[in-house]
Structure 1
Amino acid sequence: MHKASMYCSKMNFRRSTLILNVGGTRYFFPKDVIKDFPLRRVSRLHSCVSEKEVLEVCDDYDRERNEYFFDRHSEAFGFIMLYVKYGKLRFVPQMCELSFYNEMIYWGLEGSHLEFCCQRRLDDRMSDTYTYYSEETKSEEGIKREEDPQPQGGKKWLERMRKTFEEPTSSVAAQILATVSVVFVIVSMVVLCASTLPDWETAQNNSVEEHRIIEAICIGWFTAECIVRFIVSKNKCDFVRKPLNIIDLLAITPYYISVLMTFFTGENSQLQRAGVTLRVLRMMRIFWVIKLARHFIGLQTLGLTLKRCYKEMVMLLVFICVAMAIFGALSQLLEHGLDLESKNEDYASIPAACWWVIISMTTVGYGDMYPISLPGRVLGGLCVVSGIVLLALPITFIYHSFVQCYHELKFRSARYSRSISTEFLS
């Protein structure tokens, strides 16, 4: 106990200054800065309470001078420190993009922190070489796993259960479980779609029990899966806050609400009044299709891309709204607002004209309303061309972000597949 407290007092930055020695270049930092340092590897030093934990983060440690040694590229770290200071990260001149990217991963940065031009260079290089991570990435992920204490005794089976339910590619059992879950999702979607067919009511009257049994089995599986994943999760609060878990709850809850409403109202006129509510709750089961994101890398890539590119998506919506307001007002003026012999009643108001603008800018062209005057048709042509240009502006960045997210998720999936093959052969 005394030895542990001695380590704790030594490792918790007794000195007011901390020294980072990266490839022979020394950096001095006040101890208060380290706790919330933008580089994850450096900030981890603040929570170290023993010399063993420190050596898991850095390569060597001098207790007397409170100096931490990192055998890494000093020039690359200098550019990373410029990002910490000014918020802009670019590649080191005359240095391989993948090598610099490995340095970024080591210090806890991602490709999204790079400037846009450098992100394009990195994506192109990854696409050409099919090299997404180096051995340093694997060691970094190994360190992250070592941060949590290894389960022992009765807790080991909880860790296995958690990986089986949370990581579909972590083992053969996890892949089988994921396949069964996908089958239940497909069955539930087929039943939901079939329930909207005109002949469904007749079929349901003839075999109502079979339909209810299928629906109950699917809901029972999703409920049991959600409960087990909640029980074996490490952090219950984080589990509740995850988007996919919220979607699971939204997909399961309507069934139980509709069952309770049927139980309390019975098969009478009161149930008929609640028919709209029941139909809305029943249709919310469409969220089940999003559960496929747990098992398909494409949907995961889409979600991660939208998360990283939300600023560009907002910018795109702003472009569309501004153009819609301008072209909507002009089209209403040219088609209806001026003193014309034949007014176009489809453009009687600006909101009505905005519908025509959004359909034209997206090149959908329903044809339900269109300009009839010559100035209106000229404006329509400008509206279509402007829509193509505005929609194309943020697409390049979103595309490169999508490629990067796909490479990252594909690498993780390939790593798990290799671990499964090794486990099976052994």
Structure 2
Amino acid sequence: EEPTSSLAAQVLATVSILFVIVSMVVLCASTLPEYTAESVREPSGIIEAICIGWFTAECIVRFIVSKNKCEFVRRPLNIIDLLAITPYYISVLMTVFTGENSQLQRAGVTLRVLRMMRIFWVIKLARHFIGLQTLGLTLKRCYREMVMLLVFICVAMAIFSALSQLLENGLDLGTKNKDYASIPAACWWVIISMTTVGYGDMCPITVPGRILGGICVVSGIVLLALPITFIYHSFVQCYHELKFRSARYSRSLSAEFLN
């Protein structure tokens, strides 16, 4: 649970990080068209089994040595570990009981979704990097600000999407913009405009629509900036707290070892 507590813990943390990286590379490679070849799929299957074995053993050992088993089961990171490991064993069991090969199983939508859940292994890195821990703690503490930000965006999106649909397509001005045929379609334009992304796949062509687009962009900048200050200060505070907690825990382990 504390990778910096000892040299052995640091070695195990490094090995775990390497397994996560290898697993992610295999997962990404499995989506390539060339992955269907047997010469490629068989070695990657072996690598996948080794990674699953390591993660399973790690999870079991951590459960055995944990002092509070109920708290261990309730921790979000441990739940994510279980959700990431389970799909592999489900696929293996289906192979044993149905006799189908793995390629046919992956054709099922459910199994493909379960297989992609392995991407959550990236979150395992939160145990080894204080930055990811800080991000998670910040989101937990700033949920009110996040909800407030979401409300701001939803209200602005409702207003600007309705107005843009009216100005670009709803009024009979001789020029109708088919990209704004409905309010839900205009919502996409509002989102990419308020976040200043601007893909360019749809844009207003009328003068009132362009004026509204400028107001939408400026409003998005202001609305997004309002809660960011609170989130930033919370992030800095959480980072210093975790740094202090980690240093204190390391000192206590060192003192216990010397005694």
Scaled by the length of structure 2, the TM-score of the pair is: 0.93
Is the 2:194–2:217 contact (alpha carbons within 8 Å) kept by the matching residues of 1? Answer: yes
Is the 1:262–1:271 contact (alpha carbons within 8 Å) kept by the matching residues of 2? Answer: no
RMSD: 2.2
Residue 272 of structure 1 deviates from its aligned partner by 5.6
Task: Tell me the distance in 1 between the aligned counterparts of 2:106 and 2:150.
Answer: 39
Could you tell me which of 314, 319, 332 is aligned with 2:152? 319
Asked whether 1:309 is paired with 2:134, we answer: no
3-state DSSP of counterpart to 1:365? coil
Could you tell me which of 13, 18, 25 is aligned with 1:190? 25
Task: Tell me the distance in 1 between the aligned counterparts of 2:178 and 2:149.
Answer: 30
Residue type of the alignment partner of 1:318: V
Task: Tell me the distance in 1 between the aligned counterparts of 2:230 and 2:190.
Answer: 25
- By relative contact order (CA 8 Å, sep 6+), the higher-ranking structure is 2
Residue 282 of structure 1 deviates from its aligned partner by 1.3
Task: Tell me the distance in 2 between the aligned counterparts of 1:278 and 1:206.
Answer: 23
- Share of identical aligned residues, percent? 88
Task: Tell me the distance in 1 between the aligned counterparts of 2:65 and 2:8.
Answer: 16
Residue type of the alignment partner of 1:190: V
Is the 1:240–1:246 contact (alpha carbons within 8 Å) kept by the matching residues of 2? Answer: yes
Asked whether 1:361 is paired with 2:194, we answer: yes
Listed as ranges, the gaps of 5+ residues in structure 1 are 1-165
The corresponding residue for 1:171 is 6
The corresponding residue for 2:34 is 199
Residue 266 of structure 1 deviates from its aligned partner by 2.4
Deviation string for 1:56-96 (max 9, x for gaps)? xxxxxxxxxxxxxxxxxxxxxxxxxxxxxxxxxxxxxxxxx
Task: Tell me the distance in 1 between the aligned counterparts of 2:113 and 2:65.
Answer: 32
Task: Tell me the distance in 1 between the aligned counterparts of 2:117 and 2:105.
Answer: 19
Residue type of the alignment partner of 2:56: T
Listed as ranges, the gaps of 5+ residues in structure 2 are none
Runs of 4+ in 1 over 6 A off after TM superposition: 420-426
The structure-2 alpha-carbon separation of the partners of 1:258 and 1:385, relative to structure 1 and needing over 3 Å to count, comes to same
Is the 1:169–1:416 contact (alpha carbons within 8 Å) kept by the matching residues of 2? Answer: no
Residue 404 of structure 1 deviates from its aligned partner by 0.4
Deviation string for 1:9-63 (max 9, x for gaps)? xxxxxxxxxxxxxxxxxxxxxxxxxxxxxxxxxxxxxxxxxxxxxxxxxxxxxxx
Instruction: Report 1:125-136 matches (<5 A).
Output: none
Q: Number of residues paired by the alignment?
A: 259
Deviates more, 1:394-403 or 1:267-276: 267-276
Larger Rg: 1
Is the 1:170–1:419 contact (alpha carbons within 8 Å) kept by the matching residues of 2? Answer: no
Could you tell me which of 393, 404, 413 is aligned with 2:246? 413
The corresponding residue for 1:129 is none
Deviates more, 1:341-350 or 1:292-301: 341-350
Scaled by the length of structure 1, the TM-score of the pair is: 0.57
Residue 197 of structure 1 deviates from its aligned partner by 2.1
Could you tell me which of 86, 104, 112 is aligned with 1:271? 104
Deviation string for 1:189-209 (max 9, x for gaps)? 11111112232223xx11544
Residue 379 of structure 1 deviates from its aligned partner by 0.2
The structure-2 alpha-carbon separation of the partners of 1:235 and 1:419, relative to structure 1 and needing over 3 Å to count, comes to closer
Deviation string for 1:229-268 (max 9, x for gaps)? 1122222221111101111011101111111122223236
